[in-house]
Amino acid sequence: MKNNFNIFYLVIIATLLGACAKQSSPMGGPKDEDPPILLSSDPKNESINIKPDKLDLEFNEYVELENPTQSIIITPKIDKDKVEYTALKDHVIIDLNQELEDSTTYVFNFQKSIQDITEGNPAEQLKLVFSTGETIDSLSVSGKVDYWFSEDKPDYKDILVGLYINEDTTDLFTSAPYYIAQVDTAGKYEITNIKAGIFRAYAWYDENNSLKAEHRSEPYGFLSEPLEVNKNIENLQINLNRADLSALKINRTSSTSGKFDVILSKELANYKVFHQDKNTKLFFRKKDNNIRFYHTELINDSTQVRLQLMDSVGVKVDSTFYAKFEESDRSKEKLEVSSIGEAKFIDTIQAKLSFNKPILNINYDSLYVAYDTASKITIHRDMVSFADSTGSRTILNLTIPINDSIPYEKYKLIALDSTFQDVELLWNEEAFETTFNRLKKDNLGDEISGKVQTDEGPIIIQLLDKNNNVVQEKYLTETNQFSFTKLEATNYKLRAIIDRNKNKAWDPGNINFNIQPEPVYFYYDEESRSKELILRGGWTLQDQIIPKRRETGLLINNNSIEIYEIDEIPLSILEIREEDLISN
């Protein structure tokens, strides 16, 4: 009996000791909404002439660390892999485990990494500064980060701004910066306690918390010229954009089922095919990273083809190869057709059909527009053209005028089976139809007109719907004024692209060649803080101004200073249309 009592007593003691040792939230009581308060630190804030081995911060309550290796920003750069973080009751201890540089001011910005253990309230604006020399460096760089392609609710989380020593060979793709800051929820940033010097400045979206940018997938921006920091710099704007810098190359080629495939390392901005039988015997189409060739005569033979490629950042590849077309018993891919054009019209249906294979022949007898059970409009050869400037014959434009005397609102473009024949001599097996709706002229808006606040050109001016799809587009060469007429009564946006290389498309630049993206400006109403224009039936919206946006570069005390010839462009997933590809 005595032994049983001793065992029970030991169990109780062990349980109580375990409860005392465990760092946990107290039970009951009002909810803790107060953040931890720093009581003291070793070293003290703004200490000089010290080289500490570790930092010790004491708080007014028990604390814990939330992802300290990624959340705590240390400038200038140290080896973060050697740093050890420990939360012990009301203390946070940081073992540096490395020698610090001489005459250097170090800043530990804790952001939201130190939290109380009860409700996870983070310590507010907690920063520890000390110097290994006799003075505290006090220069700063501050400003704003934005996306080149504006978003209604831009996400500024995980965006970093970094300064690299100009003489250093590292950059945002290879190493963490010497000085670094994270932007706030409004896109603003400030890098403090900088030693005077010359730096290269970058900003990037650091989704994987590597303190580096991923050039394939993460948006980034840069200054074209080094930044001399010898006084405080304010309002430094950097705009972000995604531009894939991976190598453009032909990964492999293959002969498959009577066709010849060229598989590329990445998406293209444009391409050209050179061959004496192009679009007479040799045909091709591009899908994603694959260019597929067809030949109407060659069987178990090859022919020399030259292929000129260009990616979105302007890198060009010129290659010559032999395309071999082998006989195959495999079933051929069926011909498929889809509509990719606008479904509304005023006077003329502008249809756009897309095919999975190049088109060889069209049977116009079975291609028409129907507007009631018995009436139809015949489509003639002169109403049809191939839209793809590369010559792949996979996108078909149809321009079909509709007479005012026809009183119907709905029209169906119909292609019966055996209307389209592809290069493998297959016809579409199923009938295809798509509907177009005629807008009532009485309900149309009359005009949206205005000017772009720049003397630079040419200008691509685009009228966008609320989802940022291009409704109409004009190319201005001799003027900065624009006008769009006979518009559906709805909400619109305006976008202007400065087409510096005159290729009638937006170019994202190339950081490797120090080329900034082409500038893009947006309409914005300062009074209503809206990017949208509201157009009603019979309305005319005149004198709409598209202001020149703040460009990537330097502004001091809100006064523009022409130091950098650096331009901006909005961020978006790159959209390069086949109509914009280089012509043959």
Question: Is there a single domain that holds both residue 224 and residue 317?
Answer: no
Among 132-136, 344-348, 574-578, which stretch is predicted with the lowest mean pLDDT? 574-578
Question: Is there a single domain that holds both residue 478 and residue 462?
Answer: yes
Among 25-39, 262-276, 530-544, which stretch is predicted with the lowest mean pLDDT? 25-39
Mean pLDDT on 424-438? 96
| Between 125 and 361, residue with greater pLDDT | 361
- Listed residues 182, 207, 240: the one ending a domain: 240
The distance from CA 194 to its chain's CA centroid, rounded to whole angstroms, is 31
Give domain status of residue 579, yes or no.
no
pLDDT of residue 384: 95
- Across the chain, mean pLDDT equals 87
Mean pLDDT on 358-379? 94
Give the number of C-alpha atoms closer than 13 A to the C-alpha of residue 210, restricted to the C-beta side. Answer: 13
AA letter at 90: D
pLDDT of residue 29: 56
- Check pLDDT > 70 for residue 16: no
- The Cα diameter of the chain in Å comes to 110
Q: Which of 302, 318, 259, 265 is nearest to 284 (CA)?
A: 259
Rounded Cα distance between 318 and 295, Å, is 22
Give domain status of residue 377, yes or no.
yes
Rounded Cα distance between 560 and 543, Å, is 25
Question: Is there a single domain that holds both residue 507 and residue 471?
Answer: yes
- Dihedral pair phi/psi, residue 62, rounded to 5°: -65, 140
Those residues whose C-beta lies under 8 Å from the C-beta of residue 303, and which sit 6 or more positions away, are: 275, 277, 282, 295, 322, 323
- Dihedral pair phi/psi, residue 212, rounded to 5°: -135, 160
Write out the H or E segment, with its range, that includes residue 57.
Answer: strand 54-59
Q: How confident is the model at residue 288 (pLDDT cuts 50, 70, 90)?
A: very high
Tell me whether strands 233-240 and 139-147 are parallel, antiparallel or unpaired.
parallel
Question: Is there a single domain that holds both residue 433 and residue 447?
Answer: no
- CB atoms near residue 185 (< 10 Å): 9
pLDDT of residue 8: 44
Give domain status of residue 212, yes or no.
yes
Range of the domain at 47: 38-131
pLDDT of residue 388: 75
pLDDT per residue as tens digits for the range 202-259:
999 998 888 889 888 889 999 999 999 999 999 999 999 999 999 999 999 999 889 9
Tokens found for residue 280: 């007479």
- Listed residues 90, 108, 131: the one ending a domain: 131
Cβ(466)–Cβ(530) under 8 Å? no
- When divided into structural domains, the chain yields a total of 5
Give domain status of residue 560, yes or no.
no
pLDDT of residue 364: 96
pLDDT of residue 373: 82
Indicate which CATH number applies to the domain containing 426: 2.60.40.1220
Mean pLDDT on 104-132? 93
Question: Is there a single domain that holds both residue 281 and residue 377?
Answer: no
SS (H, E, C) 188-250: EEEEEEECCEEEEEEEEECCCCCCCCCCCCCCEEECCCCEEECCCEEEEEEEEECCCCCCCCE
DSSP secondary structure string, 463-514? EE-TT--EEEEEEESS-SEEEEEEE-SSEEEEEEEE-TT-SSS----BGGGT
Give domain status of residue 454, yes or no.
yes
- Listed residues 378, 411, 438: the one ending a domain: 438
Mean pLDDT on 116-133? 93
Question: Is there a single domain that holds both residue 192 and residue 260?
Answer: no
pLDDT of residue 372: 87
pLDDT of residue 154: 77
Question: Is there a single domain that holds both residue 464 and residue 544?
Answer: yes
Give domain status of residue 563, yes or no.
no
Give domain status of residue 432, yes or no.
yes
Mean pLDDT on 378-401? 92
Q: Which of 363, 556, 544 is nearest to 452 (CA)?
A: 544
Mean pLDDT on 320-336? 92
Tokens found for residue 124: 């507010």
- Check pLDDT > 90 for residue 166: yes
Percentage, residues of the chain above pLDDT 90? 72
pLDDT of residue 151: 64
pLDDT per residue as tens digits for the range 548-576:
766 677 544 333 333 333 333 332 222 33
Question: Is there a single domain that holds both residue 151 and residue 222?
Answer: yes
SS3 579: helix
Those residues whose C-beta lies under 8 Å from the C-beta of residue 262, and which sit 6 or more positions away, are: 250, 253, 290, 291, 292, 293, 307, 321
Those residues whose C-beta lies under 8 Å from the C-beta of residue 115, and which sit 6 or more positions away, are: 36, 63, 64, 65, 66, 121, 122, 123
Cβ(225)–Cβ(198) under 8 Å? no
Compute, in degrees rounded to 10, the torsion defined by CA atoms 566, 509, 475, 383. Answer: -170
Question: Is there a single domain that holds both residue 483 and residue 497?
Answer: yes
Give domain status of residue 122, yes or no.
yes
Question: Is there a single domain that holds both residue 98 and residue 186?
Answer: no
User: 13 burial class (0-12, 13-18, 19+ CB within 10 angstroms)?
Assistant: exposed
Mean pLDDT on 312-316? 91
pLDDT of residue 58: 97
Q: Which of 55, 105, 44, 115 is nearest to 84 (CA)?
A: 55
Question: Is there a single domain that holds both residue 158 and residue 96?
Answer: no
pLDDT of residue 461: 96
Mean pLDDT on 361-383? 94
Mean pLDDT on 154-166? 91
The model scores a pTM over 0.75: yes
Q: How confident is the model at residue 499 (pLDDT cuts 50, 70, 90)?
A: very high
Question: Is there a single domain that holds both residue 349 and residue 431?
Answer: yes
Tokens found for residue 149: 């392609």
